Amino acid sequence: MARRILILFAHPVAERSRVGWRLAEAAAEVEGVTVHDLYERYPRFDLDVPREQALLTSHDVIVWQHPFYWYSVPALLKEWADLVLEHGWAYGDGGDALRDQGKLALSCVTTGGPASAYQPGGYNRFTMRQLLSPWDQTAHLCGLRYLAPFVVHGSLRLAGAEDLAPHLARYQRLLAALRDDEVDLDAAAGAEYLDLTHLRGAAA
Amino acid sequence: MTDSVLVQAVIYLAAAVIGVPLAKRAGLGAVLGYLIAGVVIGPFVLGLVGGEGHHVMHFAEFGVVMMLFLVGLELRPALLWQMRRRIFGLGGLQVVASAAVLAGVALALGVAAKPALATGLILAMSSTAIVLSTLAEKKLLASSGGQGSFSVLLFQDIAVIPILALFPVLAVAAPAASADAGRPGWLQGLLVLGAVIAVVGVGRYLVRPVFRVLSRTGLRETFTAFALLLVVGIALLMTLVDLSPALGTFLAGVMLADSEYRHELEGDIEPFKGLLLGLFFISVGAQIDFGLIADDPVTIAGLTLGTMAVKLGVLYALARLFGFDRPARWLIALGLCQVGEFAFVLLSVATSGGIFDAGFAAPLVAVVALSMGLTPVAFIVLERVVLPWATKDGAPARPADEIAHADVPVVIAGYGRFGQVVGRILRANRVPMTILDLDPEIVEFVVRLDIKVHYGDASRVELLHAAGCARAKVLVVAVDDHAQALAIVHAAREPFPHLQVLARAKDRPTYYELLHAGAHFAMRETFVSAYETGIAALRSLGARAYTAERRAARWRRHEERELAELAALRASGDEEAYWDRTRRALDEAERLMRDEDPVVFAHRDGAWDNESLRVDADARGAPTAADEAPPPLA
């Protein structure tokens, strides 16, 4: 059965975004994908927790898609995690709503800096996986399997449609593969970045 | 005749106006002020009033009737039921024990058995008028000692009826006159029952519809007239069936304690009660027969202090028996050890009933009056000497605890479209509130929702008091009429300095006026709806929700700064400049619009605008938001 994918899109000024918004638009074109625009739905941060939880239960893949602000997520996505992933629901005693159902989670991040900046000795000193470890652990605690992040680096220098197109296509392809269970999950969970190489049957 | 009435009125009123503030300043309390004023204008000092003092006192006794009506209004039937053990136990034992001991003393002094028993019963009475008003003035009514005192006084009120019934049996001489000796017992019982049912029925079923009809006329004085009619009418009915009028109006008060018109009734009756009680105390002062006292000061002083000492001992022992803590015991014992105004009535009945003669009664009248005069002194001793000592090495002083109504933190004046939104938000958060409104239909629908509501004009300080503003934290002024709103803010600020006043304003000028009047917060009534509509318009034009919010919020900050500047101008007292600006309201609007020119009103997003980062990014990774350029506003 095809996996249903939920993209939790968090961008405070998406209309001015160069990459994030386009990625969200591209994702919405993929069948079986729900794009949930958090800042558009909750401009006053008044999250509807039961509704958000229902969305999580009715989807099999959770994608946290956001720009990388101060090595982290925009405020509303943090608020979402704080309120929606409740104790006794998502974790802790009786918190089994998402556990052991083969659900997956991953981050889809856009950064201004190039990939070379995100490694030991680089400008940002840590790898993307290291910087995203809070979300890795959050997923783990809630019984979700956390996959390597899908990252578009150097977004500040992506200018025209021709620069962006390969990224959009890659994103769409990966989402479709996740939906159709064509991703080698063990490989994807252990990798630094989620990539087309993780498709089952792809050349290693 | 008219002249003499006016002269009398001037003397009594002037005595009150001069005496009470002086006494209060000296820390003696209002009651003592009235009593001293009475002594001063009485026959033994200035001689301004003489024999007619008796009539004045009789008339002024009606103040006690009104006071019990007001006390009843504070006591819901359920609370009265809770107090039953104290009323009948503590109160009953106090009357029996005090009467027995005092009668025994009288016997020992050589008085015959029957007059001695009558004397004991008469002297067992305490003064409802003095004690309740002193307790209210000192805010002790809600304390456990205050409640105990009230229970005793209430029982004494009830006890007057059987005592009056007993007096004919005690008569030694032939009664001089007997008003209704012919009425058989069963008929009397039936009449009493009928009267009580009538009072309960009036309270339950008649008051509400009558108030509703009256409120439609919009004439305030008809309310006052009706409230007076109610009290006087019930008092008359009670007198007709030989019941205590105070007891009858108390019962009516209790019946109305749950009614939404309670505060209106309180507000209407309160000033009359205050005046009449003051008059009553003055006449008590004027009645003290210093001639008699001067003739035999030792005997009178001995009788007075002896009586008070006996009552004090009995009250203290009983209060201890009933489990009151030490401060409460002393409050009850010292507070109630005087002989009360009922004694004047009982003494005259006993004299005319032939129990004893006028010569026997005269010193007793002096004892009663003197002991009443000493009560405020007893309270001063209680407060300055006994209580500090009793609380020091005993139970800690208990703070005033629960009485008639629980504290309600919010009072909302005006429950129309505006007040209802505020009220619903509070109700959704389980915040109890009291509502004041002048529209009987709103009052009725709120009653059905089980919210405390009171019909009345919230710009009256008495109504604000009655609604509990002294203990509330927040007053929401939500009436739609600006003059009314301003009057409420004015009325509320001085007596309740701790109260946060939140007011509904019509527009900018009224907003300034409300703040100027002392409101802590004011909101233009259409501002937020227009603000929301502005956001909706931005969204309709395609703006993202969060962006529309932030743009509007930023504009609002700018708008509120403008508002504050003008408010400061208003507050600075530079009337000229302020009016100049408000008069040119259209110019003002134009100026405001000009200020909102996008060129002036920049829309940069700080960290989220990252043109500057782009330059850096070519060389290395940018740490913050990094994937957008700021296009011009759509």
Average pLDDT, chain B: 80
Q: Who wins on pLDDT, B46 or A81?
A: A81
Q: Please check the confidence at residue B289 and state whether its pLDDT lies above 80.
A: no
For residue A111, the chain B residues in CB contact (below 8 A) are: 621-622, 626-627
The pLDDT score that the predictor gives to residue B241 is 82
Note whether B218 contacts A: Cβ–Cβ < 8 A: no
Asked if this assembly's ipTM is beyond 0.90, the reply is no
**In this complex, do B627 and A70 lie within 8 Å of one another by their Cβ atoms?**
no
Nearest-angstrom CA–CA distance, B329 and B325: 6
The pLDDT score that the predictor gives to residue B500 is 95
β-strand partners of B99: none
**In this complex, do A40 and B545 lie within 8 Å of one another by their Cβ atoms?**
yes
Nearest CA in chain A to B607: A69
Q: Who wins on pLDDT, B88 or B32?
A: B88
Task: Determine which of A107-111, A198-202, B161-165 has the lowest per-residue pLDDT on average.
Answer: B161-165
Half-sphere exposure of B413 (CA within 13 A, CB side): 34
Note whether B541 contacts A: Cβ–Cβ < 8 A: no
Residue among A44, A110, A123 minimizing CB distance to B627: A110
Q: What is the pLDDT of residues B192-208, one digit of tens each?
A: 888 888 888 888 788 87
Q: Who wins on pLDDT, B625 or B422?
A: B422
Dump the DSSP string for B21-57: HHHHHTT--HHHHHHHHHHHHSTTTT--S-TTHHHHH
Average the pLDDT over B174-179 and give the result: 47
Task: Determine which of A51-65, A106-120, B285-299, B579-593 has the lowest per-residue pLDDT on average.
Answer: B579-593
Note whether B611 contacts A: Cβ–Cβ < 8 A: no
Backbone angles phi, psi at B115, to 5 degrees: -60, -35
Note whether B549 contacts A: Cβ–Cβ < 8 A: yes
The pLDDT score that the predictor gives to residue B605 is 53
The pLDDT score that the predictor gives to residue A119 is 93
**In this complex, do B610 and A112 lie within 8 Å of one another by their Cβ atoms?**
yes
Nearest-angstrom CA–CA distance, A85 and A97: 10
Nearest CA in chain B to A16: B628
Q: Please check the confidence at residue B611 and state whether its pLDDT lies above 70.
A: no
For residue B613, the chain A residues in CB contact (below 8 A) are: 112, 156
Q: Give me the percent of chain A exceeding a pLDDT of 90.
A: 86
The pLDDT score that the predictor gives to residue B412 is 94
**In this complex, do A157 and B617 lie within 8 Å of one another by their Cβ atoms?**
yes
For residue B618, the chain A residues in CB contact (below 8 A) are: 157
**In this complex, do B630 and A122 lie within 8 Å of one another by their Cβ atoms?**
no
| Residues B590-611: b if buried by 16+ CB within 10 A, e if exposed | eeeeeeeeeeeeeeeeeebbbe
**In this complex, do B625 and A112 lie within 8 Å of one another by their Cβ atoms?**
yes
Distance (Å) from the C-alpha of residue A74 to the closest C-alpha of chain B?
9
Mutate which of B539, B612, B614, B627 to disrupt the A interface (most A C-beta within 10 Å)?
A: B627
**In this complex, do B621 and A69 lie within 8 Å of one another by their Cβ atoms?**
no
**In this complex, do A18 and B544 lie within 8 Å of one another by their Cβ atoms?**
no
Distance (Å) from the C-alpha of residue A167 to the closest C-alpha of chain B?
14
Q: Give me the percent of chain B exceeding a pLDDT of 90.
A: 21
For residue B608, the chain A residues in CB contact (below 8 A) are: 12-13, 16
Contact between B283 and B11 (Cβ < 8 Å) = no
Q: What is the pLDDT of residues B85-128, one digit of tens each?
A: 888 889 999 999 999 999 999 999 888 888 899 999 999 999 88
For residue A13, the chain B residues in CB contact (below 8 A) are: 544, 546-547, 605, 608, 628
Q: Who wins on pLDDT, B438 or A132?
A: A132
User: How do strand B410-413 and strand A150-152 relate by DSSP bridges?
Assistant: unpaired
Q: Who wins on pLDDT, B219 or B543?
A: B543
H or E element that contains B437? strand B433-437
For residue B544, the chain A residues in CB contact (below 8 A) are: 13-15, 39-40, 43
The pLDDT score that the predictor gives to residue B313 is 93
Distance (Å) from the C-alpha of residue A114 to the closest C-alpha of chain B?
6
Distance (Å) from the C-alpha of residue A160 to the closest C-alpha of chain B?
13
A160 CB neighbour count, 10 Å cutoff: 7
The pLDDT score that the predictor gives to residue B451 is 79
Average the pLDDT over B201-218 and give the result: 80
The pLDDT score that the predictor gives to residue B172 is 67
The pLDDT score that the predictor gives to residue B623 is 44
Query: What's chain B's Rg over C-alpha atoms?
Result: 33
Nearest-angstrom CA–CA distance, A170 and B631: 27
Average the pLDDT over B415-444 and give the result: 88
DSSP-derived secondary structure letter, A69 = B
State the pLDDT confidence band at B597, using cuts at 50, 70 and 90: low
Q: What is the pLDDT of residues A140-151, one digit of tens each?
A: 999 999 999 999
**In this complex, do A111 and B626 lie within 8 Å of one another by their Cβ atoms?**
yes
The pLDDT score that the predictor gives to residue B620 is 47
The pLDDT score that the predictor gives to residue B420 is 92
The pLDDT score that the predictor gives to residue B23 is 78
Residue among B549, B607, B621 minimizing CB distance to A113: B621
β-strand partners of A109: A66, A151
Q: Please check the confidence at residue B631 and state whether its pLDDT lies above 50.
A: no
Give the three-state DSSP class for B499. Answer: coil
**In this complex, do B548 and A117 lie within 8 Å of one another by their Cβ atoms?**
no
Q: Who wins on pLDDT, A179 or B588?
A: A179
Backbone angles phi, psi at B555, to 5 degrees: -60, -40
Backbone angles phi, psi at B281, to 5 degrees: -65, -40
User: How do strand B433-437 and strand A33-37 relate by DSSP bridges?
Assistant: unpaired
The pLDDT score that the predictor gives to residue A117 is 92
Q: Give the sign of the dihedral formed by CA A153, CA A154, CA A159, CA A162.
A: negative
Q: What is the pLDDT of residues B478-525, one digit of tens each?
A: 999 999 999 999 999 888 989 999 999 998 889 988 998 999 999 999
Q: Which two tokens stand for residue A65?
A: 């898609």
Closest CA to A64 of A106, A19, A14, A36: A106
What is the interface size between A and B, counted as CB pairs within 8 Å? 96
Average the pLDDT over A112-139 and give the result: 94
Distance (Å) from the C-alpha of residue B537 to the closest C-alpha of chain A?
15
Note whether B629 contacts A: Cβ–Cβ < 8 A: yes
The pLDDT score that the predictor gives to residue A135 is 97
**In this complex, do A13 and B605 lie within 8 Å of one another by their Cβ atoms?**
yes
Q: Which two tokens stand for residue B478?
A: 């939500």
Residue among B546, B610, B630 minimizing CB distance to A39: B546
The pLDDT score that the predictor gives to residue B404 is 38
The pLDDT score that the predictor gives to residue B633 is 34
For residue B629, the chain A residues in CB contact (below 8 A) are: 16, 18
Q: What is the pLDDT of residues B136-152, one digit of tens each?
A: 877 787 778 888 898 89
Q: How far apart are the first and last CA of chain B?
A: 88
Nearest CA in chain A to B544: A40
Q: Please check the confidence at residue B271 and state whether its pLDDT lies above 90.
A: no
Task: Determine which of A126-135, B371-380, B509-518, B519-528 has the lowest per-residue pLDDT on average.
Answer: B371-380
Mutate which of B535, B628, B633 to disrupt the A interface (most A C-beta within 10 Å)?
A: B628
**In this complex, do A14 and B544 lie within 8 Å of one another by their Cβ atoms?**
yes
Task: Determine which of B35-39, B531-535, B543-547 has the lowest per-residue pLDDT on average.
Answer: B35-39
Contact between A25 and A19 (Cβ < 8 Å) = no
> Rounded to a whole number, what is the largest CA-CA distance in chain B?
123
Nearest-angstrom CA–CA distance, B247 and B189: 16
The pLDDT score that the predictor gives to residue B145 is 87
Q: Which two tokens stand for residue B616?
A: 């850096």
**In this complex, do A156 and B610 lie within 8 Å of one another by their Cβ atoms?**
yes
